[in-house]
Structure 1
Amino acid sequence: MDKMRMRSEDIQQDNVAKIAALFPNCVTEARDEDGHLKKAINFEMLKQILSDSVIDGDEAYEFTWVGKKASIVEANRPIRKTLRPVKEDSVNWNTTENLYIEGDNLEVLKLMQESYLGKVKMIYIDPPYNTGNDFIYNDDFKMSSEEYADETGELDEEGNRMFKNTDSNGRFHSDWCSMIYSRLMLARNLLSEDGVIFISIDDNEITDLRQICDEIFGEQNFVSQIVVQTNPRGRTFDRFIAKTHEYILVYANDINKECVFQVPKTDNAIKGYKKEDEHGRYRLLELRNRNPVFNRTNRPKMFYPFYANPSDMTVTLQPDSIHTVEIYPRNSEGIDGCWTWGLEKATNNLDLLVANLANTGKWSVFRKDYLEGRSLYTKSKALWLESEMNHENGKEMMGRLFGTTPFDFPKSVDYIKKCILLGTQEDGIVLDFFSGSATTAHAVMQLNAEDGGHRKFIMVQLPEETDEKSEAYKAGYKNICEIGKERIRRAAKKLHEDNPDAKFDDGFRVLKLDDTNMNDVYYAAGDYDQGMLHMLESNIKSDRTDLDLLFGCLLEWGLPLSLPYTSERIDGYTVHNYNDGDLIACFDENVPESVIKAIAKRQPLRAVFRDSSFASSPEKINVGEIFKSLAPDTRVKVI
């Protein structure tokens, strides 16, 4: 039932709607005096539409929207945040190389910039599609929580700001573009030189996303716009045409690198290798280039004769007493074409060539294509019609794992697995910073179980609350992160049951985004009062553990967060050793010289202590002298 407006008609917006009906290309988006988006008229465009001559003004090929510059500024703005370990939620904490990070992905991506700069082989994301029902992240961090909650009524339990970009508020493109632009800017920095990103999207934002990716990754690095049939029956609620598909945009960090790989051939394709000799199974492929664009005129060096022995089908490049049948690359109409091999390659590979009658009934030359090496793989097509891609498969998988479906519209594991096959080989980090139900983590583990690979995953997800009426909430999952973590646990167990001999990393370290470990002690002298004196006792917050401090140091020093580490007691003090000497830390108070020397003798690359670990400045200076003597190459810092 519609609500009464209880206000007068908005004549200005009615007039905008009338102009939009006549001239839709003159409608844009702008912010009102309160900073809210609204539909507006591009008067320069309207004047041009109504004019019979070109109106003066600068023109440029560009793509922009309200808030674009602000989104760039936001991507570059530093934050005072950290990632806190949660061992009790983790699986195989000490040995796993996988990560599950809870928090706003924009802030998490900022924190990852040093530790994962250029280290991620593949990114897959399934961002909000701007359908009118999904949440869009609000990145106006200048607005207080109270102001935002009053304005939108959407604030999750972690304080993350979100709002629904619904039809009622115009489903603005500007908000969506700003949200995705800043995140893709940061994500690109994490890709390795041969890295690649896959982004699922539908018709609502495919055009805008394509232009945004052209800007961020470079138009020259566009790989493909894949069409995936995810709902063969079509959506019944579509007004005119029932949609059956969505898209995957694929961009490389550098298109000149081998960034996208081939996929294994299907069983049906392998059945085509029906012949066999002492070297193995093979099929025959005609050496003649079937593309009519290439012919004797533009490929003269690839037009030459072979000579065949009609008895044993062998071929040579010079006629003799038994090789008497002259064969040129001509089509069925006798028009000169060309071979796919040049003369030198043919000379060096005559043992792979045989003569036979082609479909035209005339002699031609064929090459043996053995079922080995690269022949086991093929290029992926840009149209994915396999039934395994259907969203129904994603729901069924969740149903088998949970006994119910605690997540709406989960992607099929095979859908993501095919992306990972294209984006990685047997190793590499796969990042998904809109991880949802953690299908990507499931797909990484399944692919590793199948091919023995060692791919690692990093999942990032905002802890959005589940609807109290949803199956997830009824099953005890209060936010999406709880679903994702439990899905990884259950998927790993099921994979071990189905593949008892498979060995793969089935664990994950959980980290949660939180405020900095350090107290805010940056006050003017006159601002301090008696109640603040306890803050001066330590610059570290009282609720932070050694593990919190260690991982904060890893972020600042740019070390990966998934490497092994150990803790031990030396003379009664706790010493943390990260990745066998990449970093050694001791966060105890009043650390004695014996412990300092024990650490220095191990010659770590980095050493960290609390500022309060030393009672006086002379003691701190003495620490520096000890390291200069025993470990001159060690970088020493205090927090």
Structure 2
Amino acid sequence: MEAWNTFVEGDNLAVLHALARAGEEFDLVYIDPPYNTGSVLAYHDDLRGADGRRAGRHEAWVAMMRPRLEAARAVMSSRGAIYVSIDDNEAAYLRLLLDEVFGERSFLAQVVVNLNPKGRQLGKGFATSHEYLLVYAYDARTCVLDASSPDDVDARDFPQVAPDGRRYRRLPLRNTNKKFNPETARTLHFPVWGDPETGEVRTAAFDGGVEIWPVFGDGTPAVWRWSAPLIERRAVDLVCRRVRGRLGARIDVYQRDWLDTAGGRDRRKKLRTIWPADEVGSTDTAVAEVKALVGKVFESPKPTGLLRRILTTMPGDARVLDFFAGSGTTGHAVALANAADGGRRTCLSVNSAEPVRAGSDAARAGLATVADITRARLQAVADTVGGGFAEVSLGLLAAQAGSIADPLPEAVS
């Protein structure tokens, strides 16, 4: 069985090119690149402008990121999506760069992530408490990203109980947005028939049924959200009842919105574009997660809750790639998600052998490079969560013509 987590040490651009030559495809790419806070970038590309001068701060960062994003797109499947974490230093430049590489129409969201609820207290100005996630599809027409999650669904939001025990809530079948009316949506303004005693709704007259037109609360004409054929097909999901409005009693039609969806699938709730720390974790909880596995060896990891939320937007068999792997949070989250829901996700993590800071906790723990931290965490994840761990050398990856999923002579598990 293929290991849930595979690791490659090396320059991520070289790894991405090797993956492309091998014909590899990934459904989900997540990266947490350097935020360009003014320190020297660890990726030693020739960062010079077209006129030969040394690139400025933003220009150098974009020059470093552009070929990596282009190479990432080359290894994405047609159903795929990419999430990129970033802060205010390069958010504007990254948005423009992603528009160039993936196309403006592939933009899906800019999510605000509240990773530091207390806010940064050092320095002048505001106490910044957020970062961003920029989300793009490989191709918006074929992307399978589902911007919803089962995690925030609350059964208390579905107070009605059907005779068979299923829970539901009532949603007006009438479109409550006044922009949609008989003038703008002519085909959706028509009568239905309903019996408020039994709740039955049909598109044609029947014994006991009364004619019901869609109207707003002030009595002005409205339109339905469903077409007549859809109402006919899903009449079992509709109910009519007497209601008392501003103009007195009337009969209105409601959709039964079920907690348990058809086919036994988990009910999902549309994700908002602000993700608070109490839902996805914070930098503090992320540090604690790393510490529990390999010690306090990484200063600013991402919480697994953030990555697990991202994973819920993609299928349970997604091939995941993180080529700025840092402490290995993405691989950790993949293992946790698989263990929780029986998924078959795999993750390829890539990190360079950038030396850790002299005198740091990582150095005192005997971890000489950031790649050593990634490796140690993913091995600890395999030992505690399961799913296995394999390492592939960049040289072997570049030499092989097949898939990294094939048995590899240098793989360890």
Q: TM-score, normalised by structure 1?
A: 0.59
Q: Are 1:487 and 2:377 counterparts?
A: yes
Q: Separation in 2 of the partners of 1:300 and 1:444?
A: 48
Q: Which residue of 1 aligns with 2:190?
A: 304
Q: Separation in 2 of the partners of 1:116 and 1:205?
A: 31
1:367 aligned to 255, 263, 269, which one? 255
Q: Separation in 1 of the partners of 2:375 and 2:306?
A: 20
* C-alpha contact 1:430 1:456 (8 A) present in aligned 2: yes
Q: Separation in 1 of the partners of 2:290 and 2:112?
A: 24
- Any unmatched runs of 5+ in structure 1? 1-93, 143-168, 497-505, 515-547, 568-639
Q: Separation in 1 of the partners of 2:114 and 2:244?
A: 34
Question: Aligned ranges for residues 194-593 of structure 1 at < 5 Å?
Answer: 194-266=79-151, 269-274=154-159, 275-278=161-164, 280-324=166-210, 326-357=211-242, 360=245, 362-370=250-258, 371-373=260-262, 376-387=267-278, 388-402=280-294, 404-422=295-313, 424-495=314-385, 506-513=387-394, 553-554=399-400, 557=401, 559-564=402-407
* C-alpha contact 2:6 2:389 (8 A) present in aligned 1: yes
* C-alpha contact 2:81 2:143 (8 A) present in aligned 1: no
* C-alpha contact 1:136 1:179 (8 A) present in aligned 2: no
Deviation at 1:239, TM superposition (A): 1.6
Q: Separation in 2 of the partners of 1:251 and 1:359?
A: 46
Q: 1:141 to 1:254 in 2, by over 3 A?
A: closer
Deviation at 1:444, TM superposition (A): 0.7
Deviation at 1:344, TM superposition (A): 1.2
Q: Separation in 1 of the partners of 2:217 and 2:343?
A: 47
* Letter aligned with residue 138 of structure 2: N
* C-alpha contact 2:114 2:129 (8 A) present in aligned 1: yes
Deviations 1:158-206 (A, max 9, x none): xxxxxxxxxxx99711110100001111111001111111000011101
Q: Separation in 2 of the partners of 1:233 and 1:394?
A: 15
Q: Separation in 2 of the partners of 1:417 and 1:442?
A: 9
Deviation at 1:566, TM superposition (A): 8.2
* Letter aligned with residue 186 of structure 1: A
Deviation at 1:312, TM superposition (A): 2.0
Q: 1:180 to 1:170 in 2, by over 3 A?
A: closer
Q: How many residues align?
A: 397
Q: Separation in 1 of the partners of 2:274 and 2:316?
A: 25
Deviation at 1:307, TM superposition (A): 2.6
Q: Separation in 1 of the partners of 2:241 and 2:377?
A: 55
* Letter aligned with residue 418 of structure 1: R
* Letter aligned with residue 405 of structure 2: S
* C-alpha contact 2:42 2:354 (8 A) present in aligned 1: no
Q: TM-score, normalised by structure 2?
A: 0.89
Q: 1:358 to 1:173 in 2, by over 3 A?
A: farther
Question: Aligned ranges for residues 70-85 of structure 1 at < 5 Å?
Answer: none
Deviation at 1:492, TM superposition (A): 3.0
* C-alpha contact 1:123 1:432 (8 A) present in aligned 2: yes
Secondary structure, counterpart of 2:120 in structure 1: coil
The structure showing larger relative contact order (alpha-carbon pairs under 8 Å, at least 6 residues apart) is 2
Q: Separation in 2 of the partners of 1:216 and 1:295?
A: 40
Q: Are 1:107 and 2:18 counterparts?
A: no
Q: Separation in 1 of the partners of 2:341 and 2:119?
A: 34
Q: Separation in 2 of the partners of 1:495 and 1:566?
A: 25
Q: Separation in 2 of the partners of 1:397 and 1:510?
A: 22
Deviations 1:209-268 (A, max 9, x none): 111111111111111111111111111124221111111111111100133114333455
Q: Separation in 1 of the partners of 2:236 and 2:74?
A: 48
- Output the aligned Cα RMSD: 2.5
Deviation at 1:278, TM superposition (A): 2.2
Deviation at 1:207, TM superposition (A): 0.7
Q: 1:259 to 1:268 in 2, by over 3 A?
A: closer
Q: Separation in 1 of the partners of 2:153 and 2:312?
A: 19
Q: Which has the higher helix share?
A: 1
* Letter aligned with residue 268 of structure 2: Y
Q: Which residue of 1 aligns with 2:31?
A: 125
Q: Separation in 1 of the partners of 2:242 and 2:324?
A: 55
Deviations 1:47-87 (A, max 9, x none): xxxxxxxxxxxxxxxxxxxxxxxxxxxxxxxxxxxxxxxxx
- Identity, in percent, stands at 31
Q: Separation in 1 of the partners of 2:123 and 2:95?
A: 23
* Letter aligned with residue 222 of structure 2: G
Q: 1:375 to 1:564 in 2, by over 3 A?
A: closer
Q: Separation in 2 of the partners of 1:442 and 1:134?
A: 28
Deviation at 1:396, TM superposition (A): 1.5
Q: Which residue of 1 aligns with 2:51?
A: none
* Letter aligned with residue 372 of structure 1: T
